[in-house]
Amino acid sequence: MTRLRLLAIILLIIIPLLFYMGVGAYHLFETGWTFYVWWPTALCFGTAYFLGWQVARRMKTKTDSHPGDPHWTDRDQFAWGMVQARVEKSADLDQEALTQPKFYYDTAEAIAKELSVVYQPGASDPVGPVTIPELLTVIELATRELHDRVRKYVPGSHLMTIDHWRKTQKAIGWMKHANNGYWVVSAVLNPVKTAARYLAAKTTLTPLQDRLQRGVINWFYAEFISDVGRYLIELYSGRLKVGAEKYRELQEQTIRADEGGGGASPEARPVTITVIGQVKAGKSSLINALLGERKAQTDVLPCTDTITEYVLKSSGLPATLHIMDSIGYSHEGADADQVDKTAEVVRQSDLVLLVGHARNAAKQADVNFVGALQNWFRTRPQYKIPPIMAVLTHADLLTPAMEWQPPYDWSAGIRPKEKSIRDAVGTARESFPDAANIVPACTAENRQWNVTEGVLAGVVNLLGEARGVAFLRCLDESANEDRVGKVFEQLWSLGKTAYTIFRERAGK
Amino acid sequence: MYPSWANLANLFAGRDQKFQAGIADARHRANMPVFWMLGRTQTGKTSVIHYLTGAPEAEIGNGFRPCTRYSREYPFPNPEAPLLNFLDTRGIDEPGYDPAEDLAQFNDKAHVIVVTVKALDHAQENLVRNLDTIRRAKPGRPVLLLLTCLHEAYPQKQHPTPYPFGSSLYPPNISVDLTRSIALQQDRFKTLVDDIIPIDLTKPEEGFAEPNYGGDALKQSILDHLPKAIRQTMLTLDAVTSEFRDESLRRAMPVIVSYSTLAAGAGAIPVPFIDMFLLPGIQAKMIADLATVYGQPLSAERFWEIASSLGAGVLARQAAREAIKIIPGVGSAAGAALAFGMTFALGRAFCIYYRAVCQGHVPDTGTLKRIFEEELGKASRFWKPGG
Ligand SMILES: Nc1nc2c(ncn2[C@@H]2O[C@H](COP(=O)(O)OP(=O)(O)OP(=O)(O)O)[C@@H](O)[C@H]2O)c(=O)[nH]1
Ligand SMILES: [Mg+2]
């Protein structure tokens, strides 16, 4: 009943408008103006088509080029490749199926099966060992993301029902019929002109409708696959053990901490950077140069014999940096214990600055140190190795040694010093093919060069990756903490029950 | 009448085993000093070799030949008639380095060990450990520690002059950083080395007023520590190269001295007439090498033409030399001196010949003969048999 009334109201409003349209069109036709009016109309439609095409493309690229999360390990990236392959294939799927909820459920299951093979290769039932809370966490996280994104990108989505969703398909079909009816009527009135207009409209309007429709539904489906895939990856790599709440909290503190831009947000975790290198490479000098004040002790003889932490906080930096000065290796005075300790600190850090003397090609000890670090992480696929940035100090001593007139354009310049610096960086790159970045610098007191614009800028560039490393480590730590806590909790309640039973018995 | 060019070339190409055996024996008798260089890369080993030999650094780089898994050698001026030999143990800083293999190869050969360490570089863990093993294998062999790259202690400043470390490692007016660093190095290596020489051998493009800072002290220390028997080669090389300023000559003289020394080695073989057979081969190879230095190829005919212009004298003396060997007591030492002298004079005569050719005129035989006789007289200045 209400429906009929609503229809009546709408018709009462629309009919006069339709009437004006009809009369107006006829009038235009009578006066022969149609030809002139058609051009602005075509222009409007053309612009609309262009804009629609752009929106659709943006939606498409948003899902296609997702590079994966910064904290992901190589294994996760591989699994992500499988998810992406699915996203790519989604364009060829039957549009009708995409509106069926069951289809989404089946897809999620298929992805889960596919990915589980990567993480539990030998298992006969790879999905079996996943705990129920973990599975719920995947769903919670994925739907929340999807929810956020739908609200953000699909206009009017807050009013949309499943019914609407299903009807989108049919509504568009109906619109096509109505459209065709209109053309038939016009054709009777003025066959020649209508034919011309029909052709023009066909090339502008119809594709736009198709595109928008396909775009939204495909986009939704692609996002769905990505989100489910992403959290399945998190699940299989054991990162959801902490539960959705904790996961999101850590994510806020680490990965997303500097997404807002500006200074470091107060609840963000600081980024830990460890400075390593052979004895007298200039580690402490580099730290002083970064801090802008003389805090770490430096000397011409081996002097740093403990690991010390320095804090670099600045409004221009998106994160607070905790910089660890370590004990130089390759020194007969440093005992194995100290070297082990340095290695341990490096494993716990988010970013590593490998400091080397630009004039010493004897990088063997550094290559060994990095090699040992890589091996350690290779056997622990749940962690990610911190990005390593190499800093070549003592650039001032490169040929010609007598000259020091910074600034130097080392990447492209033609002065002899610039060329030597470039060569030194090239040699270092051969020794450390895995280094994320190699930066030359002069860290001597009063003669600093390329510390802020080179080293610090390089560090900021790597913050995203560093935060990914931190996120993985924090997750693992909290999962382990929780596991112990939960066992205690269970033991405690067991004890309490036993005690109650005992008292009850004793009371009797 | 004379052996053909090809025949001579064949001798050196190793086709004639008898000749090769003779040359090996001659080489053995030539008392060539062998330096065993130890040090991390980029500590200035090549600069030291460059300074001691005068050979261009690129040539040194190309002249190295691998000899063990972790080592290579550079025979100077060439592998056929080396005057000096440098063993370079590059692997000293590699993780799996075990000196056993190099010791097996070099322990008997090496006369002196030269350790290069950057004065300010204190990352010496591996070097100290391996040097200790090598030192124990032959405690009597001299070990010289060169503290290099002194300028790193005073960046962008010239070296203090005059060279202050002549008599003490701790002269006044030296940067405190450098003094402290030297003290630590001295302490680190105190039981491992026999002498410590701070040096700074730099390429001209580095911009130092004195590119061979401490070079004289280095040479002196080497002479002080080389066994007497082989000190002579160093002295000879030094004498001939410092005497001549001309660039081509400075390159040519080591070649002449090296083949002359090899000839002396052949002359010292106490079997009469064996060197009659070796000497033409050695001399022909010397002439061919000299021709390369001057960039003037020489045809076989031309060679024999010139050789025979000097010939009568040469052959007569060679015959006399063989006769000397038969006289007990005088024997091979005199034979060696003569073989040295004649090869030396022949080489010098050819240098002058090439020089003239480069300047566009060919000297007549009379002039060449006169030069040959003169140089033969001078040769004795450069040849003092070891002992
Ligand atoms: N010329 C030059 N000297 C430098 C440079 N960086 C550091 N130095 C000097 O090198 C020496 C060693 O610097 P440190 O910062 O103490 O080295 P380190 O790596 O911390 O040394 P340890 O902690 O003892 O292993 C000091 O005397 C510095 O003044 C540079 O870029 N150029
Ligand atoms: Mg330090």
More confident residue, B161 or B311: B161
Same domain, A371 and A398: yes
Amino acid at B56: P
Q: For residue A498, is it within any domain?
A: no
Question: Binning pLDDT at 50, 70 and 90, where does residue B284 land?
Answer: confident
Question: Which domain-ending residue is among B204, B225, B246?
Answer: B225
Q: How many domains does the structure of chain B reveal?
A: 2
More confident residue, B212 or A244: B212
Ligand 1 centroid – CA A412 distance (Å): 27
Residue A63, domain member (yes or no): yes
Asked whether residue A60 carries a pLDDT value surpassing 70, the answer given is: no
β-sheet bridge partners, residue B196: B145
Q: For residue A293, what is the DSSP state? A: S
Chain A residues touching residue B180 (CB < 8 angstroms): 300-301
Range with lowest mean pLDDT among A245-254, A314-323, A459-468, B263-272: B263-272
Q: Same domain for B211 and B320?
A: no
Could you tell me the CATH number of the domain that includes residue A381? 3.40.50.300
How much of chain A exceeds pLDDT 70, in percent? 73
Cβ distance B151 to A401 less than 8 Å, yes or no, reads yes
Give domain status of residue A249, yes or no.
Answer: no
Q: Which ligand is nearest to the CA of A358?
A: 1
Residues B191 and B262 in one domain: no
If we measure between CA atoms, which residue out of B151, B127, B369, B244 comes closest to residue A402? B151
Does the distance separating the beta carbons of A300 and B153 come in below 8 Å? yes
A363 plus A423 within the same structural domain: yes
Which residue does chain B place closest to A394, by CA atoms?
Answer: B152
Residue A40 shares a structural domain with residue A24: no
Side chain identity, residue A305: D
Interface with B, mutate which of A304, A360, A405 (most B CBs under 10 A): A360
Same domain, yes or no, for A313 and A353?
yes
- B294 and B332 together in one domain: yes
Query: Is residue B386 assigned to a domain?
Result: no
Boundary-marking domain end, from B195, B225, B255: B225
Specify the higher pLDDT residue, A412 or B316: A412
Q: What is the ipTM of this complex?
A: 0.76
Please list the residues that pair with B75 across neighbouring strands. Answer: B85
Give the 3-state secondary structure of residue A392. strand
Q: A122 in a domain, yes or no?
A: yes
Q: What is the pLDDT of residues B62-116, one digit of tens each?
A: 888 888 888 899 998 888 888 889 999 887 877 678 888 899 888 988 999 999 9
Q: Do B252 and B125 share a structural domain?
A: no
Parent domain of B41: 34-225
Is residue A16 located within the same domain as residue A119? no
Residues A54 and A135 in one domain: yes
Same domain, A326 and A439: yes
Give B326-376 pLDDT, tens digit per residue: 444 445 556 778 888 888 888 888 888 888 877 777 777 778 788 888 888
Identify whether residues B273 and B361 lie together within a single domain. Answer: yes
Residues B292 and B170 placed together within one structural domain of the fold: no
Q: E strands, A47-196, where?
A: none
Q: Give the integer Cα–Cα distance in Å for B143 and A99.
A: 85
Predicted pLDDT at B374: 86
Residues A26 and A37 in one domain: no
**B245 and B113, same structural domain?**
no
Q: Which of A196, A225, A240 is the last residue of a domain?
A: A240
In this structure, what token pair is assigned to residue B3? 């052996």
Residues A438 and A342 reside in one and the same domain: yes
Q: Which residues contact A263 (CB under 8 A, 6 or more apart)?
A: A314, A315, A316, A317, A318
| Residue A339 belongs to a domain | yes
Q: Is residue A258 part of a domain?
A: no
- Closest-approach residue (CA) in chain A for B207: A402
Parent domain of A9: 1-31
- Of the listed ligands, the closest to the CA of A448 is 1
According to the per-residue pLDDT averaged within each range, which of A9-13, A286-290, B22-26 is highest? Answer: A286-290
Do B371 and B242 fall within a single domain? yes
A279 and A196 co-located in one domain:
no
From the list A331, A397, A404, the residue facing B123 with the nearest CB is A331
Interface residue A362 vs chain B (CB under 8 A): yes
Task: Report, as an integer, the average pLDDT of B139-148.
Answer: 96
Inform me whether the pLDDT recorded for B379 exceeds 70: yes
Chain B closest CA to A412's CA: distance in Å?
Answer: 20
Q: Is B387 inside a domain boundary?
A: no
| A507 is a domain residue | no
What pLDDT shows up at residue B328? 47
pLDDT at res. A506: 67
Q: Which of residues A259 and B199 earns the better pLDDT score?
A: B199
| B163 found inside a domain | yes
Assess if residue A456 is contained within a domain: yes
Q: Report yes or no on B88 lying in a domain.
A: yes
pLDDT at A263 over 60: no
Is the per-residue pLDDT at A448 higher than 90? yes
Residues in chain B with CB shorter than 8 Å from the CB of A364 are 93-95
pLDDT at B10: 55
Do B59 and B179 lie in one domain? The reply is: yes
* Closest atom, ligand 1, to C-alpha of A277: 19
Nearest residue of B to residue A359, measured between CA atoms: B42
Query: Final residue of a domain: which of B225, B253, B279?
Result: B225
B380-to-B27, B32, B309, B334 alpha-carbon distances in Å: 20, 18, 23, 11
CA dist A230 → A75, A83, A143, B207 (Å):
13, 8, 12, 59
Among A226-235, B33-42, B124-133, the minimum mean pLDDT is found in A226-235
Distance (Å) from CA B120 to ligand 2 centroid: 14
**A211 and A330 in a common domain:** no
Residues 158-217 of chain B whose Cβ lies under 8 A from any Cβ of chain A: 158, 177-178, 180-181, 184, 188, 202-203, 205-208
Do A434 and A332 lie in one domain? The reply is yes
Same domain, B75 and B151: yes
Beta strands in B123-162 (DSSP E): 143-148
Q: Are residues B192 and B335 in the same domain?
A: no
Evaluate whether A439 touches A452 at the Cβ level (below 8 Å).
Answer: no
Same domain, B23 and B130: no
Q: Which of residues 368-387 of A touch B (CB under 8 A)?
A: 368
Task: Tell me what pLDDT residue A435 has.
Answer: 92
Separation of alpha carbons A161 and B385, rounded Å: 108
* Nearest atom, ligand 1, residue A328 CA: 25
DSSP letter string, B205-258: GG--S-TEETHHHHHHHHHHHS-HHHHHHHHHHHHHHHH---HHHHHHHHHHHH
| Structural domains counted in chain A | 3
In this structure, what CATH number is given to the domain that contains residue B166?
Answer: 3.40.50.300
